[in-house]
Amino acid sequence: MTGLRHVDLTVCPCAPAALQLLWIGYFPCAPLGPTLAVSLQLLSLVRQLFMRMPPNTSAWCESFEAYLAGMGYKVDTKEGIRRRFSNAYHWYCILELSLDEYVQQKLQKSASLPSDFSLSVPSTSHCPPNGDVLSSRIRPSEYLQQRCPLCFGGYSCQMKSTQHSSSDIDAIVCIDACFTQKRRSGQPDDPINPTATVFLSPGDIYAMECEVDGLQKSRSSVQRRSGQSLKRNHLGNEDDVFEEGMRITTSVLKGCNESFTAADER
């Protein structure tokens, strides 16, 4: 068959097969003696796909095996690739999340050090990297800095120049929620999906509700608060449960879908 390439790995304790496979761009299905390795590009594609449609590894593996069969390649085990592919995919996702976390930590660290800022942005002669000038009071919250280090992470010249007051909008951050990713469960002994969960404080939510209510009253009194209609639809008639690893109830997750759909249509 053309296109097939044989690669021999010389394995020793200092260079296990899993590590050598990663070096050449393949993620192994097991740390020791892996029998399947999946290309990092393919895993990245699957990750993107599963963020936009319901994740179904079985369906994906069946399709992939059928696709390979169509090209004359046969998966030569009875059980197929599903279990091993799932392992590779699961740990690939955890690697990606850990990498994000690592990068965020590094960015956070450099953003809080004025000397680093002057190194990374050389053309700021009129903006002395003086940490005292920018008190923590006028800096965006840690949360915003993490979401977008570029927008909120650094020491911005704009914040102290006279044309800009601190209430000017520099960036609008839109958070799109896909709870299906968080609900997805792995193997029983795997760690719970480590995607970070962030809850707004009740005080913040109350303040936002007041503001939205005020604005809505001034425009029209037709729209009711979506929270109230959700409660009526979902909390009234069914016993509410928490799914494992989730901190909000199933009915709220369902309600999210409806308010999301409604917001999308508006």
Ligand X SMILES: *[C@@H]1O[C@H](CO)[C@@H](O)[C@H](O)[C@H]1NC(C)=O
- The interface mask with ligand X, positions 162-191, x = CB under 6 A, is ------------------------------
The one-letter amino acid at 114: P
44 binds ligand X (CB under 6 A): no
Any residues with CB less than 8 A from the CB of 2 and at least 6 apart, and which? none
Q: How far is the CB of 215 from ligand X (least distance, A)?
A: 25
Q: Which of 77, 120, 166, 257 binds ligand X (CB under 6 A)?
A: 257
Q: How far is the CB of 54 from ligand X (least distance, A)?
A: 6
59 binds ligand X (CB under 6 A): yes
Q: How far is the CB of 59 from ligand X (least distance, A)?
A: 3
Q: How far is the CB of 235 from ligand X (least distance, A)?
A: 16
By beta-carbon proximity to ligand X, the closer residue of 54 and 122 is: 54
Rounded to whole angstroms, the Cα distance separating 243 from 185 reads: 10
Rounded to whole angstroms, the Cα distance separating 50 from 177 reads: 14
233 binds ligand X (CB under 6 A): no
Q: Are 155 and 140 in contact (CB under 8 A)?
A: no
Q: Identify the residue whose tokens are 């296109």.
A: 3
Count of residues making up the chain: 266
Pick from 49, 51, 24: which is nearest to 37 by CA? Answer: 24
261 binds ligand X (CB under 6 A): yes
Q: Which residues pair with 37 in a beta bridge?
A: 28
Q: Are 66 and 60 in contact (CB under 8 A)?
A: no
Neighbours of 145 (CB within 10 A): 19
Q: Which of 44, 58, 124, 197 binds ligand X (CB under 6 A)?
A: 58
Q: Which of 44, 56, 161, 223 binds ligand X (CB under 6 A)?
A: 56
Tokens of 129: 């990297």
* Closest chain position to ligand X (CB): 59
Q: What is the Cα gyration radius of the chain?
A: 25
Give the binding-site size for ligand X (rule: CB under 6 A): 8
Helical pair 226-234 and 250-265, crossing angle rounded to 10 deg: 140
Query: By CB under 6 A, which span of 79-87, 107-115, 206-214, 251-259 interacts with ligand X?
Result: 251-259
259 binds ligand X (CB under 6 A): no
By beta-carbon proximity to ligand X, the closer residue of 15 and 59 is: 59
Residues that bind ligand X (CB under 6 A): 56, 58-59, 62, 254, 257-258, 261
